[in-house]
Structure 1
Amino acid sequence: MYTACGSAGRIVSFKLSPGDDLEQGLIEVCKKYDLKNGVILSAFGSLQSAVVKNVIAIPNVKYNAGYGAPIELTGPIELIGTTGVICHTDEGEILPHIHITLSDHSGRGYGGHLCPGTRVKITVEGAIAEVDGINMRKLMDTERNILVFRPEQM
């Protein structure tokens, strides 16, 4: 287990436009305000497409699980909710870990780990809170060959 304690700092509000990539848009918001440690407070709106991936069983790997292939959904899709953390590498690259909840026109629900290619239909609006006192790093887990979240006290 890794833990660290901090406090909420600045709140950055945003509105993304039609055609914007949701993940890249959030990264650009963070770059604009030099926000490298944060949490998504809220984000909602409409999407023309969504790309998510979900955890699946994978035998003979650590934890016997990992992410499956991306699932592509076509819209219009309602973005009901967004949750996640804003992290960074030691080199300063912003790497958010974000999950989204979706609903289609029939009311069916979907969700998962946000992937590139998720595009805004009309608007996505929301807010990100900067976290003070916690270094929200992503470090390489050599056993799984993936970057993992590692909060550290500043």
Structure 2
Amino acid sequence: MTRPIPSTARHYAFRLVPGTDVLDALQGFVRDNDLRAVAIVTVVGSLTDAVIRYANQPDGTPSRGHFEIVSMVGTVEPTGAHVHLSLSDGTGRMFGGHMLPGCRVYTTAEIVVAHLEDLAFTRVACALSGYDELAVQAIE
């Protein structure tokens, strides 16, 4: 475990409208507001399109239909994000994994995020995972 760094947080709440790409909107919000470290607090809503990279798979799998967002958690910074998404379909079947661009809002996505004001998130290469992983720095 890396050393935990305390931070104060400012919360933002917003709603995404039908057709919006959720991940693009989140990253756009972070960039447009010059936020350096954001954690997703809660999300409820629905999607018509989902693109998820399942555990230990190299590529995303697209799904089309009507899905409820059951859970969405992660970290976002201006140049990247690591977000996991759990969805359920009309029969209650759940599936989830790493959220990729292409997840589009069906009726709504009600989102609350926390801007960790004393931190900056970046991504650094990780030999174990093969992906860029979170690095946390305190800022003055």
TM-score, normalised relative to structure 1: 0.81
> What are the Cα deviations for residues 84-117 of structure 1, in whole angstroms up to 9, with x where unaligned?
0123xxxxx4311100110000000011110011
How far did 1:152 drift? 2.4
Q: Which residue of 2 aligns with 1:77?
A: 67
> What are the Cα deviations for residues 6-42 of structure 1, in whole angstroms up to 9, with x where unaligned?
2232111111111111100111121232212011001
Could you tell me the percent identity over the aligned residues?
27
Could you tell me which runs of 5 or more consecutive residues in structure 1 were left unpaired when the two chains were aligned: 57-66, 88-92
Q: Which residue of 1 aligns with 2:94?
A: 109
Q: Which residue of 2 aligns with 1:136?
A: 121
Matched, 1:15 2:15: yes
Please say if residues 84 and 97 of structure 1, whose CA atoms lie closer than 8 Å, have aligned partners that are also in contact: yes
In 1: Cα distance, 2:8 partner to 2:38 partner: 8
After superposition, residues 117-128 of structure 1 pair within 5 angstroms as 117-128=102-113
Q: CA RMSD in A?
A: 1.8
Q: Which residue of 1 aligns with 2:38?
A: 38
In 1: Cα distance, 2:129 partner to 2:96 partner: 24
In 2: Cα distance, 1:104 partner to 1:42 partner: 20
Number of residue equivalences:
139
Q: Which amino acid aligns with 1:103?
A: S
In structure 2, which of residues 79, 82, 85 is the aligned counterpart of residue 94 of structure 1?
Answer: 79
Deviates more, 1:136-145 or 1:94-103: 136-145
